[in-house]
Amino acid sequence: MAAAVGKTLSVGSTISAGSKSGPATHHKTMGVKLNSVARFSSFSGLKATSSVNQGLDASLLGSGNLVALKTSFVAKAVEQNQRLYKQLQTQASYKVAVLGAAGGIGQPLALLIKMSPLVSALHLYDVANVKGVAADLSHCNTPSQVLDFTGPSELASALKGVNVVVIPAGVPRKPGMTRDDLFNINAGIVKNLIEAVADNCPDAFIHIISNPVNSTVPIAAEILKKKGVYDPKKLFGVTTLDVVRANTFVAQKKNLKLIDVDVPVIGGHAGITILPLLSKTRPSVTFTDEEVQELTVRIQNAGTEVVEAKAGAGSATLSMAYAAARFVESSLRALDGDSDVYECTYIESDVTDLPFFASRVKLGRKGVEAVITKDLQGLSEYEEQALEALKPELRASIEKGIAFANKQPVAGA
């Protein structure tokens, strides 16, 4: 989950600062090798190395001067190595709360978050069965402390001082159930949890996973408005799974290295409101009309694909947990000052005539720093038509969420 990043300064190869120094050799180079290893928050597993190499002709120096130069260089190199390490070392300093941590998504999500080097405390909340999950996770030898909270009476404590709140709570989809069928149950759950978030950690990043996301995010926005703490830059619908699926399916279809593939996905997070922009795939790749149709439909219906494959035993819990953990990690990196964090997410937006819309954004310490509008420019004819076709359904879902929130009394508002 965290990639090791090596910083190497290499001058020849005969002396290694920070390790045992061997006797001088007869080569015409003198060497110092420095290694700084930092733990970075990334799901990519990439390793990066930056190196500097320099040779010094020993024949130009007397033996005394060579020894002096070696000693001086080693001292300076060690100092530089320590400075680099301090700059690169990641500090586990953020608190994350998972609301619904004992569920099918919550458990694997909590495990993945526990692995993050940026997390100092992991608060697990559910209405039941969370103590065992917390006890199990607490045995993992990663830095974050795991605390459990059970039931409404402990919800406030679970949220105190938290930087990121992730909400997978709710009932899962079952065979024959649409996301709209989930609405009445999950809308009420999200409302109650968001009220507690507003009261106890109003400045936190809020990640909504509970379906139907197209409606639950507008519900959360309305509740936060009533509480007087709404910050549209910090409320996110987690649509990362659509991107994860798009990247996977395109890489398989086109025999590409998965690590290189990036497909922006816009719109919403249900059925035809999910619109992968295959024309914007990186690296650039050509699709036939049939491939575009096939891939788009598969990405839109991938959740149903899993529900049917599990034959009543669950929904897309593992892939959703992976995608949600990726978005949590991106948020933590942004909070930690990384200036190069981009994700697709469902937010309050003005890039279309819809009040909420999923698109690529740049994340920063205060949430959404910028919406990347260029993804929506120069769309293919198929994508233009699909974008217009999704709007009525997405608008209806948004309005349904807002209407639900406005009918409900808000505690303490």
207 is catalytic: no
* φ, ψ (nearest 5 deg) of residue 128: -165, 160
**Pair type for strands 94-99 and 164-167:** parallel
Could you tell me which residues come within 8 angstroms of residue 84 by beta carbon, excluding any fewer than 6 positions away? 7, 34, 36
Contact 274, 299 (CB under 8 A): yes
Could you tell me which residues come within 8 angstroms of residue 105 by beta carbon, excluding any fewer than 6 positions away? 168, 172, 209, 317, 320, 321, 324
Quickly list H helices, 151-212: 155-159, 183-200
- Alpha-carbon distance of 158 to 200, in angstroms, equals 9
Of 287, 241, 271, 291, which is closest to residue 389 (Cα–Cα)? 271
∠ CA 118-119-120, nearest 5°, is 120
Asked if the bond preceding 202 is cis, omega within 30° of 0, the reply is no
- Alpha-carbon distance of 115 to 107, in angstroms, equals 13
Q: Cβ–Cβ contacts within 10 Å for residue 386, how many? A: 22
What per-residue string of b and e applies to 234-254 under the rule 16 or more CB within 10 Å gives b? bbbbbbbbbbbbbbbbbbeee
- Alpha-carbon distance of 321 to 100, in angstroms, equals 12
∠ CA 197-320-292, nearest 5°, is 125
- Alpha-carbon distance of 198 to 191, in angstroms, equals 11
∠ CA 350-261-278, nearest 5°, is 50
Looking at 123, 139, 207, 269, which residue is catalytic?
269
* φ, ψ (nearest 5 deg) of residue 73: -70, -40
Q: Which residues are catalytic?
A: 269
